């Protein structure tokens, strides 16, 4: 099979498409023929430096949409021929940048019929990040005010829709040029992060998707007793200290495989309450260009590899 690998840390040029043996599913595992694979910030960070995978060689990618080809002994929930999506093994190596992957059957769910493989490949990692933050950690409910930083990005645009589906009033940050898009996905109050005079108030939950700089910028908007969830890199010491002064709670979050969360996301898709915005697709051979697009930081929605 064709697979993307790297022998060293570096820029997008270190990514190479090579031939490798097709994997065999073990007990409780399934073999999935990959139709599309999502590209996420953790991918290019792991390409450039040691994050979760140790040192190269390895194959990047955790977002998978494809078709079950084979099931191992004891695997349940899916069968050969099923169209599935999932985020297997994270943060261990999953090797989604390939024509085939193997993983536990319960780390996949059936793909909604109305969702293309390209759209489905953009859902698992970003969608589960948003779901676990807003549903599991924050318990967002009707009437709350939720501020999503980088609301036009991969995680952000899905978080907005999840918060809206739960009845929240949503504030979202993006450049002014993307405010029409934010309104189209349900943002009640777009905020131009480039305008230092822009403020917000009475926020119950701040979903921080930018890092320390963004968390510190919007922390004054969070009410006493509110919650800041910091996704990239966890809660910075300066953010934690300032939050404690203000009586604001903080929580880090690292997404993990989650069948219940995937089923929740699929249900929202089937109800028409959640749509995946695909920024751009690239064939597997152009994986380096996909990383360049992602690292530029201007994507609206998800970048996806077609396999």
Residue 257 counted as domain residue: no
What does the pLDDT look like over 225-284, one tens digit per residue?
A: 999 999 988 999 999 999 999 999 999 999 999 999 999 999 999 999 999 999 999 999
Length of the chain, in residues: 307
Helix (H) or strand (E) holding 35: strand 29-39
Residue 246 Cα distances to 77, 215, 218, 238, 239, angstroms:
47, 13, 12, 13, 11
pLDDT of residue 83: 98
Angle of CA points 285, 118, 210, to nearest 5°: 90
Q: Are residues 143 and 242 in the same domain?
A: yes
Per the structure, how many domains does the chain have? Answer: 2
Q: List the CATH number of the domain containing 164.
A: 3.40.50.720
Q: What is the C-alpha to C-alpha distance for residues 202 and 187, in angstroms, rounded to an integer?
A: 16
What does the pLDDT look like over 108-127, one tens digit per residue?
A: 999 999 999 999 999 999 99
Q: Are residues 184 and 226 in the same domain?
A: yes
CA 34 to chain centre: 18
Region 211-237: mean pLDDT is: 97
Closest CA to 32 of 101, 116, 127, 110: 101
What does the pLDDT look like over 44-92, one tens digit per residue?
A: 999 999 999 999 999 999 999 999 999 999 999 999 999 999 999 999 9
Residue 265 counted as domain residue: no
Q: Using omega within 30 degrees of 0 as the cis cutoff, is the peptide bond preceding 181 cis?
A: no
Looking at residue 71, the DSSP 8-state letter turns out to be E
Q: Kindly report the pTM of this predicted structure.
A: 0.97
Residue 269 counted as domain residue: no
| Rounded percentage of the chain residues whose pLDDT exceeds 90 | 99
Closest CA to 239 of 220, 224, 256: 220
Angle of CA points 28, 33, 38, to nearest 5°: 100
Closest CA to 291 of 17, 81, 12: 12
> What residues make up the domain containing 29?
2-123+276-306
pLDDT of residue 245: 98
Region 7-16: mean pLDDT is: 98
Residue 87 Cα distances to 123, 183, 219, 263, angstroms:
9, 29, 31, 12
Q: What is the C-alpha to C-alpha distance for residues 89 and 59, in angstroms, rounded to an integer?
A: 13
Q: Are residues 117 and 146 in the same domain?
A: no
pLDDT of residue 98: 98
SS3 126: helix
Q: What is the C-alpha to C-alpha distance for residues 64 and 46, in angstroms, rounded to an integer?
A: 18
Mind giving me the DSSP string for 95-106?
A: --SBSEEEEEGG
Residue 6 counted as domain residue: yes
Looking at residue 132, the DSSP 8-state letter turns out to be I
pLDDT confidence band for 24 (50 / 70 / 90): very high
Looking at residue 162, the DSSP 8-state letter turns out to be H
Q: What is the mean pLDDT of the chain?
A: 97
pLDDT of residue 296: 94
Q: What is the C-alpha to C-alpha distance for residues 84 and 254, in angstroms, rounded to an integer?
A: 23
Q: Are residues 232 and 134 in the same domain?
A: yes
Residue 259 counted as domain residue: no
What token pair was written down for 234? 């966890």
């Amino acid at each position: 099979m064709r697979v993307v690998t790297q022998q060293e840390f570096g820029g997008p040029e270190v990514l190479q498409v090579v031939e490798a043996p097709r994997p065999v599913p073990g007990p409780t595992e399934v073999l999935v023929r990959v139709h599309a694979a999502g590209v996420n910030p953790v991918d290019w960070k792991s390409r450039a430096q040691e994050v979760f995978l140790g040192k190269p060689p390895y194959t990047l990618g955790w977002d998978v949409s494809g078709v079950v080809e084979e099931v191992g002994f004891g695997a349940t929930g899916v069968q050969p021929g099923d169209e599935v999506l999932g985020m297997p093994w994270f943060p261990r190596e999953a090797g989604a940048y390939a024509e085939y992957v193997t993983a536990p059957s319960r780390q996949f769910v059936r793909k909604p019929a109305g969702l293309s493989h390209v759209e489905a490949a953009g859902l698992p990692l970003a969608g589960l990040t948003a779901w676990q933050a807003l549903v599991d950690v924050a318990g967002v409910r009707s009437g709350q005010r939720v501020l999503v930083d980088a609301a036009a990005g991969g995680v952000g645009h899905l978080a907005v829709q999840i918060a809206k589906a739960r009845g929240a009033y949503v504030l979202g940050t993006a450049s002014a040029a993307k405010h029409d898009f934010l309104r189209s996905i349900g943002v009640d109050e777009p905020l131009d992060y480039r305008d230092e005079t822009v403020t917000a108030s009475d926020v119950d939950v701040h979903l921080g998707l930018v890092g320390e700089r963004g968390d510190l910028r919007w922390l004054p908007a969070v009410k006493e007793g509110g919650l800041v969830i910091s996704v990239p890199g966890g809660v910075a010491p300066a953010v934690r200290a300032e939050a404690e002064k203000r009586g604001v709670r903080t929580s880090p979050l690292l997404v993990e495989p989650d069948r219940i969360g995937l089923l929740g996301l699929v249900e929202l898709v089937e109800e028409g309450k959640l749509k995946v915005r695909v920024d751009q697709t690239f064939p597997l051979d152009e994986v380096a260009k996909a990383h360049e697009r992602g690292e530029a930081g201007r994507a609206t929605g998800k970048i996806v590899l077609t396999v």
